[in-house]
Amino acid sequence: MDHFSRESLALRARERFRGEDVVKVLEEVSATRGLPKTIRVDNGPEFISKSLDWWAYFNKVKLDFSRPGKPTDNAFIESFNGTFRIECLNQHWFLSLPEAQVEIDSWREDDNGCRPHSALAGRTPNEFAACSAGPRPG
């Protein structure tokens, strides 16, 4: 999630996420959006992996770890995850990962393009990002 625009940049359906999976998604996103200065992460195994640590080091991206047991350190993503679970994951019964990915992509596109945010002056994340000039903060 881009903290500046509130855009969800990628959501992937997986049975489990490893550090290598996170790196792959970051590579895909950075190919179109560029690299952030900082990525806020929790202490899950996919984020404390050597793969992500090496990727961040070589790309000069700071990994900003939240304090263990302090979800408020990453309030934007915690709020996003709650909305995503209620509005997408709890609403569907997925029979396969490809089917789940289709539904997740649809929800993400709707969230980015149709849902205005009060923090963005009533604009959608896509509208806000399109009208915001210059580099985006980390």
Contacts of 111-114 spanning 24+ positions with Cβ under 8 A: 111/8, 111/83, 111/84, 112/7, 112/8
4 domain-assigned: no
Domain count across the chain? 1
> Residue 45's domain is classified under what CATH number?
3.30.420.10
Indicate whether 106 belongs to any domain: yes
80-132 pLDDT tens trace: 999 999 999 999 999 999 999 999 999 999 999 999 988 898 999 999 988 87
Note whether residue 8 is domain-resident.
Answer: no
Q: What is the DSSP string of 11-58?
A: ----SS--HHHHHHHHHHHHHHH---SEEEE-S-TTTSSHHHHHHHHH
- Note the pLDDT of residue 38: 95
What is the model's pLDDT at position 69? 83
Residue 44 CA: distances (Å) to CA of 59, 61, 133: 21, 18, 34
Note whether residue 100 is domain-resident. Answer: yes
Q: Is residue 13 part of a domain?
A: no
In this predicted structure, what is the pLDDT of residue 68?
85
| Domain span including residue 37 | 19-132
pLDDT reported for residue 108: 96
What is the structure's pLDDT at 135? Answer: 54
Q: How confident is the model at residue 110, as a pLDDT?
A: 96
The structure's pTM equals 0.85
What per-residue confidence (pLDDT) applies to 133? 53
